[in-house]
């Protein structure tokens, strides 16, 4: 995932999901296997797993800790609720007055006596039972193959509907697709509408908290999202006069962003859609990718 540059929009929150069986998870889970690291998304939570050939020892873990930016002085404790030998590290980062990024790292001795590393990132909330559940599912090889998306995009599964995109688009994260000059969107399937609404609200606040630009307009607009009438928060983010990697790569000056939470085919979807001022824009006022799932009213 060399192109994981869309940090402006893809930071999502985690939610409590106690009392669910594995089948409930798998209806919402998506994953991408990028060679030696696997990325996952469910209920707005992004996480990853990676296995190393190193032994679970002080020497074997030293290099792995460094790879994950775990300082030698950071507290490493054993999670007693995991049946595998492990070290757990929690790192929090204050993003704004109202947002804190919570990061959980688990360094686990797997059945092959090698090290598997699991990272979970969330905003404002942390669900350790959720994290342990997925560590066990992954280590026990219980993740079904049908949740994995191919690395090369021809079409995408958008909340139960296959959308043809062709071969010019690519993943920048799980459930985050970019089509150069045609727009970008990220989405997640949630257990309920409130959870989806919380997710887009946090993404909006993440956008406002980012450096290197400013919000110049913000209002609600009426749209149809996958055929359902609803409202979206429309934000225009201006990069004029600032140095930004994101703006520099696109060549654009303003980014138009739509934040949507809606029920779609018995799924609850959070979705953030965007395009640059120099992208292809149709007569309906949207970039072509956005028109695949939404219409302005």
**Full-model pTM:** 0.84
pLDDT at 271 over 70: yes
- Other Cβ atoms less than 10 A from the Cβ of 190: the count is 24
Mean of per-residue pLDDT scores for the chain: 87
Helix extents (H) in the chain: 7-10, 22-26, 58-67, 128-139, 193-209, 245-250, 288-291
Q: What is the pLDDT of residues 102-142, one digit of tens each?
A: 899 999 999 999 999 999 988 877 889 999 999 999 999 99
Q: What is the pLDDT of residues 140-151, one digit of tens each?
A: 999 999 999 999
User: Tell me, what's the pLDDT at 212?
Assistant: 76
Tokens of 265: 């085919």
């Amino acid at each position: 995932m060399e192109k994981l540059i869309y940090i402006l929009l893809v930071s999502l929150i985690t939610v409590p999901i106690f009392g669910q069986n594995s089948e409930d998870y798998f209806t919402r889970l998506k994953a991408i296997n990028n060679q030696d690291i696997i990325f996952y998304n469910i209920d707005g939570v992004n996480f990853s797993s990676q296995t190393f050939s190193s032994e679970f020892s002080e020497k074997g873990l030293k290099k792995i800790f460094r790879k994950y930016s775990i300082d030698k002085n950071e507290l490493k404790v054993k999670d007693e609720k995991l049946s595998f030998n492990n070290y757990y590290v929690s790192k929090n980062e204050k993003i704004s007055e109202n947002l804190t990024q919570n990061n959980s790292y688990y360094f686990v001795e797997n059945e092959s006596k090698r090290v598997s590393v699991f990272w979970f990132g969330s905003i404002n909330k942390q669900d350790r039972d959720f994290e342990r559940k997925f560590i066990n599912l992954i280590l026990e090889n219980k993740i079904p193959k049908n949740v994995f998306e191919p690395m090369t995009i021809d079409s995408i599964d958008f909340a139960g509907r296959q959308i043809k995109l062709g071969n010019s688009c690519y993943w920048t994260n799980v459930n985050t697709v970019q089509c150069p000059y045609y727009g970008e969107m990220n989405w997640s399937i949630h257990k309920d509408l409130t959870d989806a609404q919380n997710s887009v609200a946090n993404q909006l606040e993440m956008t406002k908290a980012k450096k290197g630009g400013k919000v110049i307009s913000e209002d609600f607009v009426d749209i149809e999202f996958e055929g359902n009438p609803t409202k979206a928060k429309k934000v225009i983010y201006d990069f004029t006069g600032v140095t930004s990697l994101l703006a520099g790569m696109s060549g654009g000056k303003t980014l138009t962003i739509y934040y949507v939470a809606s029920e779609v085919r018995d799924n609850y979807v959070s979705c953030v859609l965007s395009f640059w001022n120099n992208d292809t824009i149709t007569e309906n006022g949207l970039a072509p990718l956005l028109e695949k799932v939404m219409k302005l009213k």
